[in-house]
């Protein structure tokens, strides 16, 4: 097995294989048909499956999610695309009050096998309305599952699981990872939701990071290895439900942990991870749980400012060094 | 009246069922036996009954916060509905939805909805399924005049038309959005004026005339079934009670005279006069329907009162299809 795909191609292949396998799977969103999606992630799908199953919609995020909710509750398995994650705000009622709630409000009678796919993250000078990492908002909503792969292999397996999942799931594709290459098996496979991945085993300190930050953490770990600091990198992959058990087990081994994310620090998911760690591994900690995240500011347009805004490998490396130095 | 006696009596029966259910719910609310909010449909019965008699169980409807009437008209049963309003585990939603989220997917009722305008996009999704599966079914969105001012309605109407989906939009224009008169919130008088903006036909009907509604809905539903796309039907109607609760007179935002004028045109009583005039039913026949359904309501109230409340272990059930441990983690218990 040595075939390589990009992160974006891995997404496309998961969609294509599940559409081929299940007649009830369809895609709908802005520009995903003839154009193949603004990031090319739906390329070729309309040519293969036709306009009936790969649907170009109006620029109407509420109706796009409503299309997903209504078709899911009546027996289809929709994949609806929200071009940029920032745009989920336009459709928040349908996501938060409808998709997430119908099953519970209806006493279990409704099943919503809906996948909402969206592009998150910064690093493209796309400024404050096309760059956000809003995972904390959606992880806060009971009824939703939230997935954010960090590499092509996980992308295909997790997207496959999202499509097969009977609950509403939000797949966050990191825009800066779309071109990332990696080995991806040709056959369909599913990575279970709710299972973290230990990207790099280590003994001295645990770094929890997702999306692009998981890769930045790996780079930082490689740099630190030269100095004899052995970093364990954990990618939760699924942010809701969060695999706390794997994180806690790691922390009990390393006794030090730092959480890294691209979203702003205040109220970010890192705060939840930190809280759960102190609840379950307080006695094992040799240092406070660290957090590396964006400052409390909109994402800036200026490439220079955005570079300062986004956590970098260097920031993570420095953060790890500080955690390791503490109480050593 | 060209409709068959069967359809006419069916429409009457559905309207009486709604009226009795709503009046019973109002009395129970006054007696503090119903938790939460209550939005009564009394006065608008002809709309739900006239439309739903054009539909099958396989056709879908989406509803509003004022949704009991739609569920009754679509075939909802008193026992499970009354139990849901009383928050009992035997209710349609096992006591987790209540009045504002009452639903029964078995009869194609995709839920009352606590968010104004939110049902229309869901109806678009149901309509999409119907077209996708080519099953001949139609999705009907019920909504009020006020909800046509919210973006979700616009997006849903446009998308349904753009994709030419089998969706029928039924606007119940009762002249008030909550506690504010329609003329204060929009510069048009007729909601149907909006239909042309989406490229769909629109028609105004007397919302107190169940036959007129049935005929207009029949045409819109038939058009949708033929694959010719959505239509808008605006029914001019009136709610006899306040936006929520059981008060009907002495309200600050409308006059008692206005209420009295509309009550003169009560959709059930006016229809009964026509049934008698045309010899379709006698006074005794009509009285027998009321008596029979009153007994059903009493049975339902008893059923609901005798039903158990949900047990605490039901709290986290049906957040997801399968308990995956995430809820346990949240409570601080290692999964």
What chain A residue is nearest to B88 in terms of C-alpha separation?
A: A107
Q: Does B121 touch chain A (CB under 8 A)?
A: yes
What is the per-residue pLDDT for B83?
Answer: 98
Q: How far is CA B279 from CA B8, B103, B286, in A?
A: 12, 36, 12
The reply to whether residue B334 touches residue A245, judged by beta carbons under 8 angstroms, is yes
**pLDDT, tens digit, 9 for 90 and up, residues A195-250:** 999 999 999 999 999 999 999 999 999 999 999 999 999 999 999 999 999 999 99
Q: Predicted confidence band at A34 (pLDDT cuts at 50, 70, 90)?
A: very high
For residue A78, the distance in angstroms to the closest alpha carbon of chain B comes to: 10
Residue whose tokens read 């930190």:
A274
Task: Count the neighbouring beta carbons within 10 Å of the beta carbon of residue B96.
Answer: 23
Nearest to B125 among A69, A167, A244 (CB): A69
**Torsion of Cα atoms, A93 then A94 then A100 then A105, to 10°:** 90
8 Å CB contact between A296 and A264: yes
The reply to whether residue B155 touches residue A241, judged by beta carbons under 8 angstroms, is no
Q: Is the peptide bond before A241 cis (omega within 30 degrees of 0)?
A: yes
Residue whose tokens read 């609950």:
A167
8 Å CB contact between B117 and B147: yes
- Write the Ramachandran bin of A31: left for phi over 0, alpha for psi from -120 to 50, otherwise beta: left
8 Å CB contact between B205 and B213: yes
Q: Does B77 touch chain A (CB under 8 A)?
A: no
**pLDDT, tens digit, 9 for 90 and up, residues B61-113:** 999 999 999 999 999 999 999 999 999 999 999 999 999 999 999 999 999 99
Residue whose tokens read 């008169």:
B181
Tell me which of A326 and B171 has the higher pLDDT: B171
**pLDDT, tens digit, 9 for 90 and up, residues B119-138:** 999 999 999 999 999 999 99
What is the per-residue pLDDT for B332?
Answer: 38
Nearest to A70 among B101, B126, B319 (CB): B126
Q: How does strand A181-183 pair with strand A4-6?
A: antiparallel
Nearest to B122 among A70, A108, A143 (CB): A70
Task: Count the neighbouring beta carbons within 10 Å of the beta carbon of residue A128.
Answer: 13
8 Å CB contact between B129 and A70: yes
Q: Does A1 touch chain B (CB under 8 A)?
A: no
Whole-number Å distance between alpha carbons of B328 and B322? 13
**pLDDT, tens digit, 9 for 90 and up, residues A171-184:** 999 999 999 999 99
Most A CBs within 10 Å: which of B87, B101, B125, B139, as the mutation test of the A interface? B125
CB < 8 Å to A61, chain B: 155
* pTM, entire model: 0.96
pLDDT at B271 over 80: yes
Instruction: Report the mean per-residue pLDDT for chain A.
Output: 97
DSSP B183: H
Whole-number Å distance between alpha carbons of B195 and B55? 22
CA A49 from centroid of its chain's CA atoms: 27
Q: How does strand A145-147 pair with strand A238-240?
A: antiparallel
8 Å CB contact between A290 and A206: no
Question: How far is it between the farthest Cα atoms of chain A?
Answer: 62
Torsions phi, psi for A91 (to 5 deg): -110, 20
Of B160, B171, B169, B162, which is closest to residue B125 (Cα–Cα)?
Answer: B160
């Amino acid at each position: 097995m040595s075939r390589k795909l990009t992160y974006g191609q891995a997404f496309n292949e998961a969609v294509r294989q599940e559409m081929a396998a299940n007649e009830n799977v369809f895609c709908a969103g802005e520009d995903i048909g003839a154009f193949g999606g603004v990031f090319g992630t739906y390329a070729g799908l309309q040519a293969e499956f036709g306009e009936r199953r790969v649907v170009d919609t109006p620029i109407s995020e509420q109706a796009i999610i409503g299309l997903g909710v209504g078709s899911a509750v009546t027996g289809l398995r929709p994949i609806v695309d929200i071009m940029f994650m920032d745009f989920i705000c336009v459709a928040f009622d349908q996501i938060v009050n409808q998709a997430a709630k119908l099953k519970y409000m209806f006493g279990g009678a409704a099943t919503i096998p809906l996948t909402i796919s969206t592009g998150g993250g910064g690093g493209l000078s796309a400024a404050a309305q096309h760059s956000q990492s809003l995972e904390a908002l959606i992880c806060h909503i009971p009824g939703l599952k939230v997935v954010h792969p960090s590499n092509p292999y996980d992308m295909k397996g997790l997207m496959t699981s999202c499509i097969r999942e009977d609950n509403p799931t939000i797949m966050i594709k990191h825009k800066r990872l779309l071109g990332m290459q990696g080995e991806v098996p040709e056959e369909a496979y599913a990575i279970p939701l709710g299972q973290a991945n230990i990207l790099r085993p280590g003994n001295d300190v645990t770094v929890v990071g997702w999306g692009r930050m998981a890769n930045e953490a790996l780079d930082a770990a490689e740099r630190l290895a030269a100095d004899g600091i052995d970093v364990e990198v954990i990618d939760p992959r699924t942010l809701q439900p969060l695999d706390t058990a794997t994180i806690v087990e790691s922390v009990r081994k390393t006794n030090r942990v730092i959480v890294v994310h691209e979203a702003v620090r205040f109220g970010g998911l890192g705060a939840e991870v930190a809280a759960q760690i102190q609840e379950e591994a307080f006695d094992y900690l040799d240092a406070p749980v660290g957090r590396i995240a964006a400052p409390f500011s909109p994402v800036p347009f200026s490439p220079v400012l955005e570079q300062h805004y986004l956590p970098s490998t260097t920031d993570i490396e420095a953060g790890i060094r500080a955690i390791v130095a503490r109480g050593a | 009246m060209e409709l068959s006696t069967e359809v006419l009596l069916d429409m009457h029966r559905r309207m009486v069922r709604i009226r009795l259910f709503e009046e019973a719910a109002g009395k129970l609310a006054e007696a503090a036996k119903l938790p939460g909010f209550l939005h009564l449909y009394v006065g608008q019965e002809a709309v739900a009954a006239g439309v739903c008699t054009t539909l099958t169980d396989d056709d879908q409807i989406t509803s509003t916060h004022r949704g009991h009437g739609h569920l009754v008209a679509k075939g909802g049963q008193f026992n499970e509905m009354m139990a849901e309003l009383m928050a009992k585990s035997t209710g349609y939603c096992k006591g987790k939805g209540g009045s504002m989220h009452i639903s029964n997917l078995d009869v194609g009722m995709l839920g009352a909805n606590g968010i104004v305008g939110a049902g229309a996009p869901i109806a678009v999704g149901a309509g999409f399924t119907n077209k996708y599966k080519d099953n001949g079914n139609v999705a009907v969105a019920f909504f009020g005049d006020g909800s046509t001012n919210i973006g979700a309605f616009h997006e849903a109407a446009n998308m349904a038309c753009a994709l030419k989906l089998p969706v029928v939009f039924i606007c119940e224009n009762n002249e008030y959005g909550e506690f504010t008169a329609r003329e204060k919130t929009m510069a048009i008088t007729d909601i149907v004026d909006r239909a042309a903006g989406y490229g769909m036909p629109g028609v105004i009907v007397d919302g107190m005339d169940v036959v007129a509604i049935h005929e207009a809905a029949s045409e819109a539903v038939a058009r949708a079934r033929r694959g010719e796309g959505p239509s808008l039907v605006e029914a001019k109607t009136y709610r006899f009670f306040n936006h929520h609760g059981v008060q009907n007179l002495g309200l600050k935002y409308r006059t008692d005279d206005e209420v009295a004028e509309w009550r003169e045109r009560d959709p059930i009583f006016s229809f009964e006069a026509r049934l008698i005039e045309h010899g379709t039913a006698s006074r005794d026949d009509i009285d027998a329907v009321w008596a029979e359904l009153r007994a059903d309501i009493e049975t339902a109230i008893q059923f609901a009162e005798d039903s158990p409340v949900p047990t605490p272990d039901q709290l986290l059930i049906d957040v997801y299809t399968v308990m995956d441990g995430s809820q346990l983690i949240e409570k601080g218990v290692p999964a």
